Structure 1
Amino acid sequence: MSTQATVSPAYLAWAREQRMRAEIDHHVYVAGAQTDPVTREQGCLVEYAAPELLATPAALAELERQLAAAHPEATALLLRAPGDTRLPAPWRPSLSYVRHTGAAAPAPGPPAGLGIIPAGPGHDALIAGWLARAIADGYGYGPQDVRTGELIDAAATDVLHAPGRVSFLLTRDGRPVGHATVLTEAQDEVTGTEFVDLFDLLVEESDVVRPGTTALVAACAALAAERERPLFGNVVHDSAGPDSGARVVASLLERGWCLDHRFWRRPRPDEETSA
């Protein structure tokens, strides 16, 4: 999973079997219907598009036209592109994947009073609550209605019980004040690359956010190095208004991460609503 990784031939063969593969002027793209697990929004996801289809306005417009025609039920289009790709409005960044490129662990340890310990089964309820909060924040939700709350809790439970899930706790004077949860058996189906997915990182107490975050990332990076897999994280972007996610990505790029790939979003082309 890097900006230089190429699409897997096995993935393209699978896409052909699933009838998700199509072409424009002999340039391949792979797209299919998607239902959001929380909002239940119907969309069309382009999992792969040849660079030539994103390089010119005319090619991109034809791709959008074909997607809208093939997926009349979709209210929005989502498209995966390499990290260095920039799409024109009304496309907006939706989710950025960043890859850790720093050392597995920094030289200094956490400040006095802070520590990192592996989470155990007794911490499941605490971690599930943090995961649910992260998922709700990612969707921009405040107080939940009952149905939405149940779907978010179910999504958090899925992460908690995912194969290869590992969580680290940040402790302060022995109290858990944050966590990092990774999925160690993640795989990018498009490129075929196996990786460690830093699903969520949270530090509760504001005065130790920076050193706590550094210590948690170091623990995750060390685990990824032990598994001989790259460590990836993700940043959610705002769907409207100023994009705070862009500031987060910029900060990560200054701290040993690189932008790998990004999912972009826009309304279906025959609708004039804003992204």
Structure 2
Amino acid sequence: MALQVWVGDWPLHWGVKFPFVVLASLALLLLSYHFLVRSTVIGRLLNGKVHPRHAVAAAPVEAAVDDGVVASLCGVSKRYGKLEALTTVDLELRRGELLALLGPNGAGKSTAISLWLGLHDADAGIVRLLGGSPQEIARRQGLGVMMQDVELPKDLKVHELVALSASYYARPLSVKEALVRAGITALANRPYGKLSGGQKRQVQFAIAICGRPKVLFLDEPTVGLDIQARELMWANIRALLREGCSILLTTHYLE
């Protein structure tokens, strides 16, 4: 508006001034986007960095992991402000392998997983998942994840949460099978918000495995579980390994 008022005082015909107003307005919009919007989450979405536009063209997952490496970090560094969470880390997870990351809180274990999940970008180095970028939807289809801090809809029943998660995968487990494997069939009709902390962890595990993942990330999976539930968790992990699933977990327990 200020630009139009300013140009309106020029001693020229509007047939000349109008194109100038249009071009100047477009230039201001482009500059505003470049300096104010591009670096934000909205800008990343518009540029396809969060959900890439060309994910459909990704190479087939099976063809991309012939070397047996399903997830890798190569010279990866990640910093949050002044805190350096990862420094030139090299790490590989192979097909059918169980890899445990041990370390105190703040050691960068969850940061490494978040890079593989495509939740954050590395400041340096290369992050690979199932032969491609974690940002590609085709790679994410082969993932299962159970993070330590999770918020799920409290009013949904357990079987509804598992069914909703399974609907995102091409060949998921049935809801019944996922509940059986997680040992929570008795909780199927309970609202998630009414469960204990340990029961919620079991539901999160059912959600993590319902898509038949090729790669499974488990962040402190046994925290909050009683002895019986913990033993079932490890039995499930061993069964998944026999099925060819690759598992990376973080834990404080040396069992």
Name the TM-score class by shorter chain.
under 0.3
State TM-score, norm by structure 1: 0.26
Higher fraction of helix: 2
Structure of higher CA gyration radius? 2
Identify the structure with bigger relative contact order (alpha carbons < 8 Å, sequence gap 6+).
Answer: 1
State TM-score, norm by structure 2: 0.28
Higher fraction of strand: 1
